[in-house]
């Protein structure tokens, strides 16, 4: 008697004898691989579970029971973002375990600016051909980001689309939902002249400006395994360091009653495009250069590109990833609480009457 696999091997492989799985796999979509990836995702999502989550990974949708006893007038706050061309560095380096953290960070840091606590997150991973091990690394990073933010990974989508992406490449996007009481929303409208601007240290480039970074590295003939003066590890180490997630220390400040009047997440567009978005008309943010140490990676990029600091600060965060605006009397307490939470922060400027925007002072 021949075994099942042997028996099938003797059947002519004509379309009439192929299963739907065989035909779909031949077209570039592997349903079995997708199911295997989903099983791994479920184990990773279990690490992020919150008591409000209903059900688990595997259904058509994710449920979340909002705690209405905790929030008197709950407002849901949502955000969506991706990782951008930083993914090109991950592809080239063959390292996929940090970009998921970036994806979560870009979303949860955005909704945090309104004072919202992130509740749950969903990811969208699009590939040309599904490599289950790579996909698991990516989603493992997403789960780690959710753990850092205190939110639940309730679901997502892995789309296998042959011909859409180059071999070994993918795209990643994320979607976060948070909640804040309506009377606790931070919209920047209470900010006043004389308020203090506090900057929280970034972990590096975060997830912005990578198209220019890659161009400058290529022009300089610098490889990912190279090391540059002052950079922390190899070029790949520096460029793949994940975006810092500021959720827990900032929510702790709010829970302690620190009067934060405005917050900004410094992403694409850097300082001049992000900080003014949260300030009322008639106020200018005056930021002092030299009030924080600029990491070596930004110094190298400025030198290589020939950009002045002000121009570079429109592309990159220059070492500050998140900004708080507080009354003068709250600055000392804010810095002390951030330090106790393990954050590095500095007073970097103040608000003044003016025509808006960001004005640079100092060296």
**Interacting residues of 143 by C-beta distance below 8 A, sequence separation 6+:** 44, 45, 47, 48, 100, 153
pLDDT (tens, 9 = 90+) of the chain, 363 residues, equals: 233 232 223 333 445 456 555 544 554 555 666 667 667 777 777 788 888 888 776 677 888 888 888 888 999 999 999 999 999 999 999 999 999 999 999 999 999 999 999 999 999 999 999 999 999 999 999 999 999 999 999 988 999 999 999 999 999 999 999 999 999 999 999 999 999 999 999 999 999 999 999 999 999 999 999 999 999 999 999 999 999 999 999 999 999 999 999 999 999 899 999 999 999 999 999 999 999 999 999 999 999 999 999 999 999 999 999 999 999 999 999 999 999 999 999 999 999 999 999 999 986
Residue 280's closest CA among 189, 361, 193, 213? 189
User: Residue 152 in contact with residue 48, Cβ under 8 Å?
Assistant: yes
Residue 191 C-beta-side C-alpha neighbours within 13 Å: 31
Q: Which two tokens stand for residue 188?
A: 């920047």
pLDDT at position 351: 98
CA dist 56 and 152 (Å) reads 10
Q: Which two tokens stand for residue 357?
A: 């925007």
Look up the CATH architecture of domain 196-362.
Alpha-Beta Complex (3.90)
Helices 86-93 and 210-220 pack at an angle, to 10 degrees, of: 50
pLDDT at position 11: 32
Residue 346 C-beta-side C-alpha neighbours within 13 Å: 15
pLDDT at position 174: 97
Task: Indicate the pTM of the whole model.
Answer: 0.89
Q: Which two tokens stand for residue 252?
A: 């702790």
According to DSSP, residue 349 is labeled E
Indicate the domain borders of the chain.
29-184, 196-362
Residue 278's closest CA among 247, 310, 322, 312? 322
Q: Which two tokens stand for residue 115?
A: 């004072």
Residue 207's closest CA among 289, 152, 148, 270? 270
Look up the CATH architecture of domain 29-184.
2-Layer Sandwich (3.30)
């Amino acid at each position: 008697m021949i075994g099942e696999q042997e028996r099938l091997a003797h059947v002519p492989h004509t379309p009439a004898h192929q299963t739907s799985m065989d035909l779909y796999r031949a077209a570039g979509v592997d349903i079995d691989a997708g199911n295997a990836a989903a099983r791994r995702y479920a184990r990773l999502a279990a690490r992020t579970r919150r008591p409000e989550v209903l059900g688990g990974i595997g259904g058509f949708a994710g449920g979340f029971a909002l705690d209405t006893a905790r929030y008197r007038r709950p407002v849901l706050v949502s955000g969506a973002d991706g990782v951008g061309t930083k993914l090109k560095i991950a592809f080239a380096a063959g390292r996929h375990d940090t970009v998921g953290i970036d994806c979560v960070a870009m979303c949860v840091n955005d909704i945090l600016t309104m004072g919202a606590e992130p509740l749950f997150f969903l990811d969208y991973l699009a590939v040309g051909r599904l490599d289950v091990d790579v996909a698991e690394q990516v989603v493992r990073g997403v789960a780690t980001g959710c753990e850092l933010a205190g939110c639940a990974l309730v679901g997502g989508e892995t789309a296998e689309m042959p011909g859409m992406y180059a071999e070994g490449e993918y795209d990643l996007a994320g979607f976060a939902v948070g909640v804040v009481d309506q009377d606790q929303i931070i919209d920047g409208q209470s900010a006043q002249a004389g308020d203090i601007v506090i900057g929280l240290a970034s972990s590096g480039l975060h997830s912005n400006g990578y198209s220019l970074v890659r161009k400058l590295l290529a022009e300089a003939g610098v490889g990912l395994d190279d090391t540059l003066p002052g950079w922390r590890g190899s070029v790949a180490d520096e460029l793949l360091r994940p975006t810092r997630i500021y959720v827990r220390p900032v929510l702790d400040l709010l829970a302690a009653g620190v009067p934060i009047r405005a917050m900004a997440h410094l992403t694409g567009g850097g300082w001049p495009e992000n900080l003014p978005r949260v300030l009322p008309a008639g106020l200018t943010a005056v930021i002092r250069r030299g009030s924080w140490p600029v990491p070596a990676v930004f110094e190298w990029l400025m030198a290589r590109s020939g950009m002045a600091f002000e121009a570079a600060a429109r592309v990159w965060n220059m070492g500050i990833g998140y900004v708080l605006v507080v009354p003068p009397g709250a600055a000392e307490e804010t810095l002390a609480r951030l330090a106790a939470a393990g954050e590095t922060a500095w007073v970097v400027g103040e608000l003044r009457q003016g025509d808006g925007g960001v004005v640079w002072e100092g060296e």
